[in-house]
Amino acid sequence: MTYPSSEALQTWLEIATEAALAGGEVLRQYWGNLSEIAEKGRSGDLVTEADRAAEAAVMAVLLRHLPKDHGFLAEESGRQGNRQSPILWAIDPLDGTTNYTHQYPCCAVSIGLLWEGEPILGVVFNPIHQELFRAAQGLGATLNRRPIQVSTTSQLAQSLLVTGFAYDRRETQDNNYAEFCQFTHLTQGVRRGGSAAVDLAYVACGRLDGYWERGLSVWDIAAGIVLVREAGGQVTAYQGSPLEIETGRLLATNGLIHRAMVEVLSQVQPLAFTPIPLSDPLSL
């Protein structure tokens, strides 16, 4: 596969940065001032006026600067641009909407670029903490313009992990509850951040040692995948095989504990439980 040149990637990285900062400014303006919070058909899958306004700000910058033949996939507005292009921008204007509505400051604008389905560029910006994560293939990864790298933790027992739970966790046996319990038992702890983009950024900068999750969309993880890889980490499928981003599940680590996490994920059996109907008062 022939990838875009370093010069093109650097140019696109600056454009994505401008777009992420524009979206982040919108999120800062709406922080604590929401008047519209709705569900998008699945319980807990929220959308607000901040999501829509931030996405409009991001798209305005991208469309103003980028060639007409690029493709776009944004969480709120869907596919735009050239559907046949090898270039696809994956945009989540507010990853961590539930956190944002509760003013829990783990949220971000996430902008990823895929070339023929492979993530090659990413920007993740948390406007509340003013943390800007950037990376492009072959250009390294940074936090607020300073280089970052993954942690040096080499033993699962000394690691700190993070995960998340899919929106359909109440209705499916395909969840990570048992994995959460097992990893909690085997490590120094497992966190639940509530933003896949931020979780991956934290693995990239060494705050966390590993992350696994399922039920994800391409706009949740495209940018973060590049951050981890360019910071020296490893991103694969659960089995350690090459990542297939469309499956919505991935394992990202500092590389040193990757094999150990693959082994645990291969051995843990799902918890048996009876799904609770959402109309049941016990679910409230």
CATH value at residue 67: 3.30.540.10
Res. 41 pLDDT band, cuts 50 70 90:
low
Taking the CA atoms of residue 124, residue 51, residue 250 and residue 183 in that order, the dihedral angle to the nearest 10 degrees is 90
184: alpha, beta or left? (left if phi > 0; alpha if psi -120 to 50): alpha
Same domain, 124 and 173: no
pLDDT at 282: 45
Lowest mean pLDDT among 43-47, 88-92, 188-192, 239-243: 43-47
Whether residue 159 has pLDDT greater than 50: yes
* 55 and 133 fall within a common domain: yes
For residue 280, is it within any domain? no
Q: Report the largest interatomic distance among the alpha carbons of the chain, rounded to a whole angstrom.
A: 57
- Taking CA atoms, 212 is separated from 23, 161, 166, 238, 257, in Å, by 27, 8, 12, 8, 12
For residue 100, give every residue at least 6 positions away whose Cβ sits within 8 Å of its Cβ, in sequence order, or none.
27, 31, 48, 50, 94, 107
pLDDT band at 174 (very low <50, low <70, confident <90, very high): confident
> Is 278 part of any domain?
no
Same domain, 117 and 188: no
Tell me, yes or no, whether 77 and 189 share the same domain: no
Q: How far apart (Å, rounded) are the C-alpha atoms in residues 24 and 50?
A: 10
Instruction: Tell me: do 19 and 122 sit in the same domain.
Output: yes
110 and 201 housed in the same domain: no
For the segment 169-193, the average pLDDT, to the nearest whole number, is 88
One domain for residues 46 and 165: no
Q: Where are the alpha helices (DSSP H) in 113-255?
A: 177-186, 196-204, 218-230
Let me know whether 36 and 110 are in one domain.
yes
Structural tokens at position 25: 């400014």
Over the stretch 101-158, which tens digit does the pLDDT of each residue have? Answer: 999 999 999 999 999 999 999 999 999 999 999 999 999 999 999 999 999 999 999 9
Q: What is the value of pTM for the model shown?
A: 0.92
CATH of the domain at 237: 3.40.190.80
Residue 284 has pLDDT above 50, yes or no: no
Q: In this structure, is residue 273 part of a structural domain?
A: no
Output the CA angle 78-83-89, nearest 5 degrees. Answer: 60
3-state helix, strand, coil in the chain (%, to 5): 35, 25, 40
Structural domain count, the chain: 2
Which residues span the domain enclosing 212? 156-267
Shared domain check, 93 and 30: yes
